[in-house]
Structures are given as C-alpha cells and as structure tokens.
Chains A and B, each alone.
Chain A
Amino acid sequence: MKKSHFAAFVVLAGLISLAQPVWSQMNGKQIMEAVYTRPSGSDLQGDLTMTLTNKQGDERVRQLRQFITDNGSIEKTLMFFLSPADVRNTSFMSWSYADGKDDDQWIYLPALKRTKRISSDSKGDYFMGSDFTYDDLGDRHPDEDNHTLLREEKLGNYDCFVVESTSKQPGYMYSKTITWVNKDNFIGLKREFYDEAKMPLKTLYIHKFEKINSFWTILETEMVNTQKNHRTKMVFSNVKINQGIPDNKFTERSMTLGQ
C-alpha cells in the first residue's frame, strides 16, 4: 500500500469512528425499539396494490384504499376494496391496542349489507391471504423478543445493523428473525424469517422508501415465502401523512358508506 493511500485510509477511518458514537452504544434491543418507534405520523391514507403470486406463477391483484390513525394507545385501520369488482366496497377495520389486548376486527360485506366482527386465533395471523402476518406488518412489540446485534454490514448501498430476534414466548411461529436495519433512518430493509424447525421460511424485502411529509415511509415491499414458493408484493401510492383524518372515520357506520 502506498503511503498517500495509507494516510487517506487513516483519515477516513477516523471520520467513520467520529460518526459512530451514537450507534456504537446501541444494542440489539435499542435498535429494534428505534425501528418500532420510528416516527410515522399520526395518520396516513393512501392506496395499496397487493399482488399475490403462487408457485405456478398465477397472480391475484387486489386494490385497497386505506386510512390509518394512531393516537399512541390505539392504532385504527380502515380499508376499502377497490377491486376486484365483486368485492368492491367490502371494508375491513381493525383496532389494535398498544397494551397488548387482542385486536378488534370488523368486516362489512355489501352483498350481505351487514357488518360482522371477525376474530381469529393464530390461524388468522396472515393478512388477507398474503404472506404477511399482522406481526410482520409491524404489530409486534420489541419487548416480545430478545434481540442480539450480530454484526454491521452493507446491504446494497446502505449501512446496516444486523439484528437477530428470538421470541421470549416458546412456540412462536418463528424460531428467529434476522433484520437488516438501515443505520440512517431505522427502516428495516430486509428480514429473514426462520420457521419452528429453524429452517428458512420467508424473506421480507423493502424495495422503495421515501420521505413523505418529513416521515420516512415504505412504499414498496415484498415478502417471499421460499418454502411455499409464494410471494406477496405491496405497493403504496397516493400516500398522504398527517392530513388530520377525523376519528369518526373509524366506525362501523363509515365502513358501510364506501370510500
């Protein structure tokens, strides 16, 4: 190595270590808490296009309009189906509680002209037949897992923490997950899920994220179930944050009104 290059290397290393302090003190738990508590605004609305692909390569596309509000103790989500046509205006609402109480969920079937509560045990963990469970979509509190910082490495162009999380409660559907967390904005960019037999099960990818209204927002994500050879892609569009969605939007009555 030439001397001039060596000098440059020393300077660079110094710069990096200067930038390091905030991060270097963080342990796995703190990183995952930072991910969980990353500011995301108090409300959000936008369109979601969900594409499911099975192992034969068949695709199903569903379009929904969603409204989310979060006051810190309850996160309320309301979704209306835009397509396919035969389920248009079917709506789905869920209230999820920060204190760990079971979610409340309702569905409105326009053909039946009735709102029904749905509740489900672990079988219903999957979100609308996709490869995402509700936990995968961000419902899972970091306190439920033990976290270990494995290493720091680059994922594509991003510097990442690599954190392994294992459930405190035995018998959870994942034996462990490994998450690549973007150091800059605490967005989890990739996550590997391992099944109860410790075999690789699924991988979550974040394909696109942007700052909207000063909040980092994920706009394109994909979950690939490698065991079933099944994948789900979610693309968000027309996303608006902190528009002030009134709380009375999230009622059984507004479910029947259509978007």
Chain B
Amino acid sequence: MKENKMKTMAWLIISVSFLITIFFGYQIVQKSRMETDLDKYMPQDHPAFVYSDQAEAWFNIKDGILIAVENEQGIYNSGTLQKIKDITLQLQAMPEFEAADVVSLFTADNIVGTEDGLDVRSFYREVPSSAEVLKKLQSDVETNEMVHGRLVSEKGNVALVVAALNDTAFSMEFYQNILAFAHSFEGPEKVYVAGVPVVEGTMAFLGPKDMKTMVPIVVLAIVLVLYTVMRSVRNTFSTLMVVLLSTVWTFGLLALLNIPIYAVSIMIPVMLIAIGVADGIHLYSHLDLFLMENKGATKVQAITNMLKNMWKPVMMTSVTTAIGFISLLTSEVLPIKYFGLFTAFGVMAAMVFSLFLIPSFIFVLGTKKQKTLKTRDQSHTGFGADFAVKVLKYKVLVVSITVILGVISVVGIGKVWINSSFLENFEKSSDIVQTDAFINQYFGGTSTINVILESENEGVMTKHETLQLLSEMQLSVEKVEKVGGSFSIADYIKRMNKVMHADDEHYNSIPDDDELIAQYLLLYEMSGDPENLWKVTDYDSKKANLTFQLKSDNSKELKKTIEAIEIFKPRLEELGISLNYAGSGYKALVFTGLILEGQIKSLVMSVIIIILLITLMFRKFTIGLIGSVPVVLTALLSFGLMGLLNIPLSTTTALISSIAVGIGIDYAIHFMERYKIYSQETGDKLLTTKLTMSHSGRAITFNAVVVILGFLVLLFSVFPPNRSLGALVSFNMLTSFVATVTIMYLLLYKSNIFFKKKS
C-alpha cells in the first residue's frame, strides 16, 4: 500500500473510531442509569427468592430502620418518654412508613393480668410526669418480656423505635433526612440510627461513589507507570485510548440497550484497564524491538512488521479472554451475566482498537525518535536472557515452590467462603458499624432470620404440640452465640397464660389445651390490636413466622443459626409442618452462595474452553495444557490464599477470579507464540528461550508492572471492598506473571514441543 493511501486510511480509522465513541458517550450521558435496589440483583425466579418474597407479603416482613434513644440516667422520665412518643408519631406521619409498621414503647401492647382478668393496654398515651406513674411504667416494662430487652434495654437506658421500610423507599437523601430528623431529638439523650436498610443503602451508594473517585486515580497511576516503562508520550496516549474507548463503547452499548449499571458493572472498567493495556504494551514492545534491531526502517515497514508478527497473538489472547468472560453467562445472577457479556464485548472492542487504532496512531503520530532507541544485538544477553538461564538452573526450586504453593492452595480452597455481610464492608471505626454495635449491645440484634412454618391443615400453628416445639426451638436456637432473641406466636400464648394466672411465672408456658389457646387468641383479638398477630401467624393458623434476631449479618453466623434451626426440621415434619426461610438476610446468604457457585462453575468451564482453544490454535493438546498452567495457578492461589487467611469473598471480589483467566491466558499465549516463532527461526532451544524472555518476557513484565502498580492505588480507597479489589487484582496479576515466566516457561522448555521434529 502506498504511504499516502495508508495515511488516508489511518485518519479514516481514527475519525470513525472517535465518531462512534462520541455516539456512545452521548448514549451514556442520555440514558445511563444506576440500579441501587438490591432486590433487582437477585434472580427473581429462583425458588428461594420467590418463596421469601411471598412470605414477606404474608407476614409483612420488612427491614426496619432502628432509631435508638439513649439516656444514661434511664429512659423513665417525661423528657425521654416524650421524645419516644414524638419520634414514633412523626415517623408514622412520614409517607415512607405505614403507621402500623412503626413500633416503639409508645405503640406496644402491654398485655397485663388484672385482678379479674386480662387487659391489653398501652404503656402510655399521655406522657406521665409524676414519679409514681413513671415508676409504675418502669415496672410494667420490666415485667413484660415481650417488650423488655426488645424495645427497651434491660438496663433501662436505651429505647428503640423500629420503623419497617419498603425495600424501594430507601435513598441516600431519605437517609440523610432521617439522620437529621433523629439527631434533632438529641440532648441530653443521644440518638442513633441503624438497621439493614441503612447499611444496604449506604453501601449501594458508597461503593460506586468511591469508585468514581478512585478510577481516575487508577488511570492516572497507570498513565505514569505506562510512561515510565514505554518512555513515550505517544505510546502511552494511544495505549490509554484503547482502554478508554473500549470502556466508553461498552458502557455506551449498555445505555443504548437500556440495561442499568449494577454495582458489579463497576468491575467492567477494572477488567478492561487490566486487560486492555496488554495489547498496546505487546504491540509497542514489538515495535521498539524491531526498530532497535532494524535501524533506519521506515514507518510503513515497522508497522507492517508489527502487525504481521502480532495480529495473531493479539487476536488469540482477546478471543480467549472474551470467551472466558462469556462463560459467566452460566451464572444465575443477572448482573453477573451482563458483566460477563459486556466485558467480553469490551475486550473485543479493545482488540479492534489495538489492531486498527494503534497502527493508525503510529502512522499519524510517528514512532519514537531513533536516538532514544538503544542499539541491540541479537539480544541473547541482557536481563531477560539471564533470567531464562537462571530459571533453568534452579528448575527444581521453581517446581518445588509451585507444587508447595499449589498444595497449600488446594487445602485453602476448601475453606473459601463468601460473606454476604453488608456491615463488614465498612470500617470498624465508621459510624454505621459503631451504631450497629451499640444497638446490638443492648438489644437482640440488628439482623434477622425469618423462619416460615407451613402446614396443609388449618389450626396447626395454634396446637399446643406445635407451640411447645416452637418454644423449645426458640430456647435452643437462642443458645447460638450471636442469636440475641426470637419472637413467635408462642410468646403471645405464654404471656397470656401467665397473666391469666395472676402473673404466676410457673404459667409462663404453653398450656396443654388447644381450646384454651384458641380462646386466649380470641381474647387477645378482642382486647388488643390483632394486626400484631398477623405478623406471627395467619388467618387460619396454617402458617407461622418465627423471627430470630442476630447481632451480626456475617454469613458464618447466619449459617450457624440456620444449622441450629434445621435440627428441628424432622420434629416439625412429624407434625406435618414444613420449614423455610425468608427475609433480606437469608436472601443475601442464598444470593452470595449463587455467586460463588456460579463463579466456580464458570471458572472450571472457561479453563476447559481455554485448553481447547489453545490446543486448536497451536494444534497440540500438550500446549493447551501447558498454556492453562498460569490460569489454573492464579485461580488456585487467589482462592487458596483467601481460604487460608480466612478472608471472605464478597459479591464483587468473587468476580476477580475472572481476571485470572483473562490475563493469565494473555501472558501465556504471547509467550508461547513468540517461543514458537523463535523456535522456527533459530532451531536452538536455549537461544529461543533467551529471545522469548527478552521479547515477550519484557512485554509481560511491563504489562504486569503497569497493572499491579495501577491497582495498588486502590489500597488508598476509603471503601474497604474496593481496597480488597485492588489488592486482589494486583495479586492475581503478579501470580499470572510469575507463573508464566517461570513454571510455564519451564514446562514449555522441558516438553521440547517445537523442537521435536528437528531432534
């Protein structure tokens, strides 16, 4: 092709690329939207979620915002009681809450025994002021276990107002309003705001917000490191353009297709940065080497040589990486499917840019100044070559270390767990964690598990056998360390049985008489607010809702509690009762399980696909196996180390193993392709290794250094999950890199693969 014609072509490619980018950029600005409703992340048709949603509707199960009012002198004074009343009434009047969903000492039922019967009273309506009435109120609370320790702390210094909220009603603005509202009641009391909606909402908000600040800093760091290794503004610029343009195209396509941005979508630029710079680095590395070896070569010659040598590995690495991400389509979680699909799209876009845009840039902007290029001979000396020799020399050591690390990782991998805790994503010293700890110190717990019991037959839940078993189950499960309380229909019956027997503690139990139980319930309905009953059972007593309160939302604690509950399953089944779970905590647990399972499934699948693809590319199964070694090692070490160190995965960090595949395979393919070319050129095994290490090894090192340093910047993030993200990406890059230039290279060398015919 004539130079002029090529020049026109280059400009055309650049213009078209930027025009399309502007189009996609416009789409992002116009149509992009964030999805912050966590329920939308979960597979809506998964049986566990379908069931939980249904049960939540039956019993009006919602997560509550907790407002705690602390008075060190005790809450039994007119000032504090007035505040509890005001907070309750004003929350009830807010459009975000239904009046019946706001519960406090002010709204609570006080079921009491009187001389001649039973009374369901309020603890107070008008705020009492006389010492006598206040004292009476205190003793009413302290003798009522349905309230004591639930709405008022046992020490009597903290009172709780619980306001259940619809999932969708939470926004950061609303949270700020509630905070301001709550704090307006301070002095001398202290007021705290906590609860699942607050934690979830803040996290959904804080993660992406922190990413927005951190991504530009990461990009800046990568620019600096890129420049340091490339020593060229042009090369740095065009490599960066590949990353930026592919990111814009990906998000533009998301916007164009009206797909919202989920929290995991913030991983897309992370992946594209880590993967996208690789092509540029390898292309430029080749270009530089070519120019060093061929002083005086023209621009056209250099570009032609670069493309001729590099189009194949660039394409191979991109296709394998994309397929690795596409394997995430096996996940049951919609945002992860999108993540896989669109990262794959981004990777392919980056490939197109690398093969078309980079040469165009080189053409338009020119190559490095000749004088900055060092003269090189057939580089079989130098660091790369030395390293290649050293690895061969210490092969026993390399193999042993690999085997040891591998074995250790396999042990650790069994211990990998994924934490569905939202709270543990925050700093221990953060307000949100501190408030939560404060409330957990005085009350049953800020997290809940709802156990839903169901029977085919009417009236089963109010039979004494059932209630006695429920009561026994509550006592038994409450022995689990983090379980701070429980509540069920049995508590109502016990309370009524007690007060109907002159507050005799002996009768704080389930009576043996079904008719008496039915009559107690009728009595309660006639005296109190039956609405409360429908939170624990249903109209025909076929269903019951048993709530356990936990002082932690950590997955391990949730699982321990569920194990303790499951013990009762057979005995419930004997009574014809089935047991299921509901509520946001349980859903989060199932959800994270799905993510981990899907992640491992897709990892195994992508490794198999990659082995096949490499086999196909190099027409040799052994190469496929050798090429998969860095990938497998990276995944093993990444999961193994976390398992061993007891660091739980989170929903986003679980996805990082995808990067192990995406990047690990790139290093391997570049290295093997170069190795193959040199083996054919030289026919000398040692020379081939030295040359490959100086060529590909050099580019891989650059690539690894750029991405590792770039992502280490995330360690300065204020949001802990983003810190672990940075650490993990860096760690995975390091493993992939080291594994490629040591053990994989060694295996390649020992296998004699490209030399067999000649020897």
Chain A residues within CB distance 8 Å of chain B: 52, 54, 56, 58-60, 81, 84, 86-87, 90, 92, 106-107, 109-112, 116-124, 126-129, 197, 227-228
Complex contact A124–B120 (CB within 8 A) = yes
Complex contact B523–A107 (CB within 8 A) = yes
**A-side interface mostly:** mixed
Q: Which residues of B contact A127 (CB under 8 A)?
A: 526
CA gap between A117 and B115 in the complex, in Å = 9
Complex contact A120–B58 (CB within 8 A) = no
Which one of A52, A54, A56, A90 lies within 8 Å of B519 (CB-CB)?
A90
Pairs A–B under 8 Å by Cβ, sample size 29? A52-B539, A54-B534, A60-B539, A86-B459, A86-B514, A87-B522, A90-B519, A92-B526, A107-B117, A112-B500, A112-B516, A116-B117, A116-B500, A116-B523, A117-B116, A118-B119, A119-B114, A119-B117, A120-B119, A120-B120, A120-B528, A121-B121, A121-B122, A123-B120, A123-B121, A123-B122, A123-B527, A128-B526, A129-B526
Q: Is B125 an interface residue (CB 8 A)?
A: yes
Complex contact B516–A111 (CB within 8 A) = yes
Which one of A59, A90, A123 lies within 8 Å of B522 (CB-CB)?
A90
CB distance from B122 to the nearest CB of A (A): 6
Q: Which residues of A contact B118 (CB under 8 A)?
A: 116, 118
Complex contact A110–B519 (CB within 8 A) = yes
Q: Which residues of A contact B526 (CB under 8 A)?
A: 92, 107, 118, 124, 127-129
Cβ < 8 Å to A, chain B residues 41-64? 57-58
Complex contact A129–B117 (CB within 8 A) = no
* Leading 4 A-B pairs by shortest Cβ distance: A116-B117, A111-B516, A86-B518, A129-B530
Q: Is B93 an interface residue (CB 8 A)?
A: yes
Interface readout for B102-121 with A: 1 if CB under 8 Å, 0 if not?
Answer: 00000001000010111111
Q: Residue of A at shortest CB range from B108?
A: A123
CA gap between A228 and B539 in the complex, in Å = 15
Q: Residue of A at shortest CB range from B462?
A: A86
CA gap between A116 and B100 in the complex, in Å = 29
CA gap between A197 and B125 in the complex, in Å = 18
Q: Is B513 an interface residue (CB 8 A)?
A: yes
Q: Residue of A at shortest CB range from B117?
A: A116
CA gap between A122 and B58 in the complex, in Å = 27
Q: Is B504 an interface residue (CB 8 A)?
A: no
CA gap between A197 and B93 in the complex, in Å = 7
CA gap between A81 and B530 in the complex, in Å = 18
**Which bucket holds chain B's interface residue count?**
35 or more
CB distance from A200 to the nearest CB of B (A): 14
Highest count of chain B CB atoms <10 Å: which of A52, A58, A60 = A58
Complex contact A122–B122 (CB within 8 A) = yes
Other contacts beyond A54-B534, A110-B515, A124-B526: 20, CB < 8 A: A58-B539, A86-B518, A86-B519, A90-B522, A106-B117, A107-B523, A112-B519, A116-B116, A116-B500, A117-B114, A118-B523, A118-B527, A119-B117, A121-B121, A122-B122, A123-B120, A123-B121, A124-B120, A129-B525, A228-B531
Q: Residue of A at shortest CB range from B518?
A: A86
CA gap between A60 and B531 in the complex, in Å = 14
Q: Is B72 an interface residue (CB 8 A)?
A: no
Q: Which residues of A contact B122 (CB under 8 A)?
A: 121-123
Complex contact A58–B519 (CB within 8 A) = no
Q: Which residues of B contact A54 (CB under 8 A)?
A: 534, 539
CB distance from A94 to the nearest CB of B (A): 10
Complex contact B540–A60 (CB within 8 A) = yes
Which one of B518, B525, B539 lies within 8 Å of A59 (CB-CB)?
B539
CB distance from A85 to the nearest CB of B (A): 9
Q: Which residues of A contact B529 (CB under 8 A)?
A: 123, 126
Q: Is B538 an interface residue (CB 8 A)?
A: yes
Q: Residue of A at shortest CB range from B121?
A: A121
CA gap between A59 and B538 in the complex, in Å = 10
Q: Which residues of A contact B525 (CB under 8 A)?
A: 128-129
Q: Residue of A at shortest CB range from B543?
A: A58
Highest count of chain B CB atoms <10 Å: which of A116, A121, A128, A227 = A116
CB distance from B107 to the nearest CB of A (A): 9
CA gap between A55 and B528 in the complex, in Å = 20
Q: Which residues of B contact A120 (CB under 8 A)?
A: 119-121, 527-528
CB distance from B56 to the nearest CB of A (A): 12
Q: Which residues of B contact A123 (CB under 8 A)?
A: 109, 120-122, 527-529
CA gap between A117 and B117 in the complex, in Å = 5
Highest count of chain B CB atoms <10 Å: which of A106, A109, A121, A228 = A109
Q: Which residues of A contact B119 (CB under 8 A)?
A: 118-120
CA gap between A121 and B516 in the complex, in Å = 24
Q: Which residues of A contact B117 (CB under 8 A)?
A: 106-107, 116-119
CB distance from A253 to the nearest CB of B (A): 15
Q: Which residues of B contact A90 (CB under 8 A)?
A: 519, 522
Q: Which residues of A contact B528 (CB under 8 A)?
A: 120, 123-124
Q: Which residues of B contact A126 (CB under 8 A)?
A: 529-530
CB distance from A176 to the nearest CB of B (A): 17
Q: Residue of B at shortest CB range from A53?
A: B539
Q: Which residues of B contact A109 (CB under 8 A)?
A: 516, 519-520, 523
Q: Residue of B at shortest CB range from A88?
A: B515
Q: Which residues of A contact B540 (CB under 8 A)?
A: 58, 60
Q: Which residues of B contact A112 (CB under 8 A)?
A: 500, 516, 519
CB distance from B433 to the nearest CB of A (A): 36
Q: Which residues of B contact A128 (CB under 8 A)?
A: 522, 525-526
CB distance from A109 to the nearest CB of B (A): 4
Complex contact A122–B93 (CB within 8 A) = no
Q: Which residues of B contact A119 (CB under 8 A)?
A: 114, 117, 119
Q: Which residues of A contact B520 (CB under 8 A)?
A: 109
Complex contact B515–A86 (CB within 8 A) = yes
CA gap between A22 and B525 in the complex, in Å = 44
CB distance from B104 to the nearest CB of A (A): 14
Cβ < 8 Å to A, chain B residues 81-114? 93, 98, 100, 109, 114
Known A118-B118, A121-B122, A128-B526: A87·B500 in contact at CB below 8 Å: no
CB distance from B296 to the nearest CB of A (A): 84
Q: Which residues of B contact A52 (CB under 8 A)?
A: 539
Q: Which residues of B contact A60 (CB under 8 A)?
A: 539-540
Interface readout for B327-361 with A: 1 if CB under 8 Å, 0 if not?
Answer: 00000000000000000000000000000000000
CA gap between A52 and B531 in the complex, in Å = 13
CB distance from B506 to the nearest CB of A (A): 16
CB distance from A82 to the nearest CB of B (A): 13
CB distance from B29 to the nearest CB of A (A): 40
CB distance from B94 to the nearest CB of A (A): 10
CB distance from B114 to the nearest CB of A (A): 7
Q: Residue of A at shortest CB range from B119?
A: A119
Which one of B120, B515, B538 lies within 8 Å of A111 (CB-CB)?
B515
Cβ < 8 Å to A, chain B residues 597-611? none
Q: Which residues of B contact A87 (CB under 8 A)?
A: 515, 518-519, 522
CB distance from B201 to the nearest CB of A (A): 26
CB distance from A182 to the nearest CB of B (A): 31
CA gap between A120 and B524 in the complex, in Å = 11
Complex contact A121–B125 (CB within 8 A) = yes
Q: Residue of A at shortest CB range from B516?
A: A111
Q: Which residues of B contact A116 (CB under 8 A)?
A: 116-118, 500, 523
Q: Which residues of B contact A197 (CB under 8 A)?
A: 93
Highest count of chain B CB atoms <10 Å: which of A90, A107, A124, A129 = A129
CB distance from B82 to the nearest CB of A (A): 15
Q: Which residues of B contact A124 (CB under 8 A)?
A: 120, 526-528
CA gap between A81 and B516 in the complex, in Å = 14
CA gap between A107 and B120 in the complex, in Å = 14
CA gap between A107 and B526 in the complex, in Å = 9
Q: Which residues of A contact B58 (CB under 8 A)?
A: 56
Q: Which residues of A contact B539 (CB under 8 A)?
A: 52, 54, 58-60
Q: Residue of A at shortest CB range from B458?
A: A84
Q: Which residues of A contact B98 (CB under 8 A)?
A: 227
Q: Which residues of A contact B93 (CB under 8 A)?
A: 197
CA gap between A60 and B533 in the complex, in Å = 14
